Amino acid sequence: MNLQKVKDILSRYPLPLVDEILELKEGQMAVGVKQINKEDTFATGQNPNNPIMPGVLIIEAIAQVTAVAIHSEEKHSNKFALLAGINHSRIRKAVFPGDELCMEVMVEKVKNSFAKAKGKATVAGELICEAEFLFAFQ
C-alpha cells in the first residue's frame, strides 16, 4: 500500500490514534501500534489524577487499523469507508501512559457497499479490548 495513503488515513486530525502499521496483508489483515504517553490530551482529560485512554478511543484506534486494511486493497482504495456498526465490543482493562497498545484486525468480508472485520487490542500480550466492526463504503 502506498505509504502516503497510510499516513493520510492515520493522521486525520484530531484523532491520529495509530503511530505505525507493523504488518499488512492487502484487504485481509493489519497490525498497528500506538504508544500512549502523558502528552496525549485524551489521557489527562478523562481523569487528571489518574490518566487513562478512554475505551471509546481504544475502539477508534482498532477501527483506524481496520480502515488501513480495507483501503489497502486496490479496488477499495478510492472509496471512503465509514464506520457503520460496532458489535460484541468489550473493554477488559484500562490503558495508561507508558503502555504500547497493539491493534490486530482481520477483515472477514468485503462487498461492494460494506466490509466486516474483527479486531482486538492488547498491551504486553494481554487482551484489552475486542470488537466486530461494520464499515459502509461511500
pLDDT along the chain (138 residues), means of 10: 58 72 92 87 68 91 91 78 92 94 96 92 98 92
What 8-state DSSP symbol labels residue 76?
G
Q: Supply the pLDDT for residue 10.
A: 60
Domains annotated for the chain, with CATH where assigned, are: 3-137 (3.10.129.10)
Cell of 53: 485512554
Residue 106 CA: distances (Å) to CA of 34, 45, 133: 18, 31, 10
Q: Supply the pLDDT for residue 73.
A: 82
Helix, strand, or coil (residue 31):
strand
- CB atoms inside a 10 Å sphere around CB 71: 25
Q: Supply the pLDDT for residue 95.
A: 93
CA angle 44, 7, 117 (to 5 degrees): 80
Backbone angles phi, psi at 104, to 5 degrees: -125, 130
What 8-state DSSP symbol labels residue 68?
H
